[in-house]
Amino acid sequence: MTKVLTVGEILVEIVATTRGDGFREAQPLIGPFPSGSPAIFIDQVGKLGTPCAILSRVGADDFGQVNLDRLAADGVDISGVSVAPGEATGSAFVRYREDGSRAFIFNIANSACGRLDATPEGDALIDTCGHMHLMGTALSAPGLAARALEAMERIKAKGGTLSFDPNLRPEILDTPGLRPALDRVLAQTDLFLPSGDEIFLFTAACDEAGAVADLLARGVRDIVIKRGAQGASHFDAKGRTDAAPIAVEEIDPTGAGDSFGGAFVSFWLAGAPPATALAYANAAGARAVTKLGPMEGTSTRAELDALITPVQGH
C-alpha cells in the first residue's frame, strides 16, 4: 500500500468557548488540544489504517508530547518528527466572531516547526513514501515551506502523487513567497481539495464550472470542492458527483476539512471509485464537526460506516 507523507505544523490549539470580538470577550478558553492541519489530516489517514507519516518538528515540551502520543496511537509514523530541546511547540488560538466566522492567532513561524530542517531521519522517511499531501499552512514559514516543497518534488520525481489543500487562512496570506510556492505546488497537483473561494486561486474563470474545467485542462486529475454544511462535490474528466451533507449537530467546525481530506486521500489511493471516496470523506467531515477540539473528531472506518449506512430496524 502506498505510504502517505505530509509535512507541516504540529500545534496545540486553545479554543474560545463563547463568541466574541476579541479573546478578552470570548472566555473561557480551553485546551490544549492536539492540532495543526497536517497533523489532523495525517491522524485521519492513520485511523483508517493507511500507512502514513508526518515530517515536522516540536519542542521538548508537554505540548509536543500531547501530539506525538496521539499521532503514534492512531498509527502515524512519527520517526520524521524532530524534538528540539529549548524550543517551543507551535500553538494556535481560535475564537468565533459573533457571525460564526473564525479568527486565529498562529504561532508557527517562531515555533519549533517553523524551523524544520533536513535530517537523515527525514530524508530516509521521504524515500519510503509514494504520496504527498500538502497544505497551504505548511507554506507559512520559510524553513517549513522549503522542506515541504523539497519533499513534494522528490516524491513526484519518483512517480508518486500529490494532493493539495490550500487551507488558506487570512492570517497567513501575507507570508513572503507564498504565491510562487502555491503556483509551484499546483503545477504538481494530481488531487486538488479547495474549499470556498479557493477554487478560484489559480484561474481567471469567474464561475465554478469554468474554474473546474480550466484546472482539469491544466493537468489536475481530480478536484474535490468542500462546501462546509452544504456537503461536497467531486469532478474529474468523467464528470461531477455530489455528496449531500449528513445532518449533524455542529459543535466545532475546525478540522473538518483536514479530516475530510484524510479520508478522501485514503480511499482514493486504495483505488476506490470517486463516489465512494467522496461519501467517506463527507462522513469524516460531518463527524469532525460534532466534537470540540480540532483533532478530536477524526474517525475510524467503523465510525464512518455507521454514518453512511444508518442502522436499520430500530
- The grid coordinates listed for 244 are 449531500
Q: Does 229 bind ligand ATP (CB under 6 A)?
A: yes
Q: Name the minimum Å distance from CB 257 to ligand ATP.
A: 2
Which ranges of the chain would DSSP assign to H, the alpha helix? 37-47, 62-73, 120-127, 142-157, 178-186, 208-217, 256-269, 274-288, 301-308
Q: Does 258 bind ligand ATP (CB under 6 A)?
A: yes
Residues in the chain: 314
Q: How many residues bind ligand ATP (CB under 6 A)?
A: 23
Of the candidate spans 23-31, 68-76, 125-133, 229-237, the one that interacts with ligand ATP by CB under 6 A turns out to be: 229-237
Backbone angles phi, psi at 252, to 5 degrees: -155, 105
The answer to whether residues 75 and 42 touch, using CB atoms and an 8 Å cutoff, is: no
Q: Name the minimum Å distance from CB 78 to ligand ATP.
A: 22
3 state DSSP class of 198: helix
| Binds ligand ATP (CB under 6 A): choice among 38, 51, 255, 274 | 255
Q: Name the minimum Å distance from CB 257 to Mg ion.
A: 3
Report the C-alpha gap between 243 and 260 in whole angstroms. Answer: 12
| Binds Mg ion (CB under 5 A): choice among 32, 257, 285, 297 | 257
* 142 contact, one of Mg ion, ligand ATP, none, CB 5-8 Å limit per kind: none
Exposed/middle/buried for 111, CB within 10 Å: 0-12, 13-18, 19+?
A: buried
Give the per-residue contact string, 181-200, with ligand ATP (x = CB under 6 A; - = no): --------------x-----
Give the per-residue contact string, 118-157, with ligand ATP (x = CB under 6 A; - = no): ----------------------------------------
Q: Does 297 bind Mg ion (CB under 5 A)?
A: no
Collect all residues with Cβ–Cβ distance below 8 Å to 225 and sequence separation of at least 6. 194, 195, 199, 208, 212, 232, 233, 235
Give the per-residue contact string, 280-309, with ligand ATP (x = CB under 6 A; - = no): --x--xx--x--------------------
Report the C-alpha gap between 128 and 147 in whole angstroms. Answer: 16
Of the candidate spans 13-21, 104-112, 204-212, 278-286, the one that interacts with ligand ATP by CB under 6 A turns out to be: 278-286
DSSP state of 184: H
The answer to whether residues 254 and 297 touch, using CB atoms and an 8 Å cutoff, is: no
Collect all residues with Cβ–Cβ distance below 8 Å to 247 and sequence separation of at least 6. none
Of the candidate spans 108-116, 123-131, 243-251, 303-311, the one that interacts with ligand ATP by CB under 6 A turns out to be: 243-251
Report the C-alpha gap between 223 and 117 in whole angstroms. Answer: 31
* 138 contact, one of ligand ATP, Mg ion, none, CB 5-8 Å limit per kind: none
Q: Name the minimum Å distance from CB 85 to ligand ATP.
A: 32
Report the C-alpha gap between 135 and 35 in whole angstroms. Answer: 14
Q: Which residues bind ligand ATP (CB under 6 A)?
A: 167, 195, 226-229, 231-232, 245-246, 248, 250, 253-258, 260, 282, 285-286, 289
Q: Which residues bind Mg ion (CB under 5 A)?
A: 167, 257
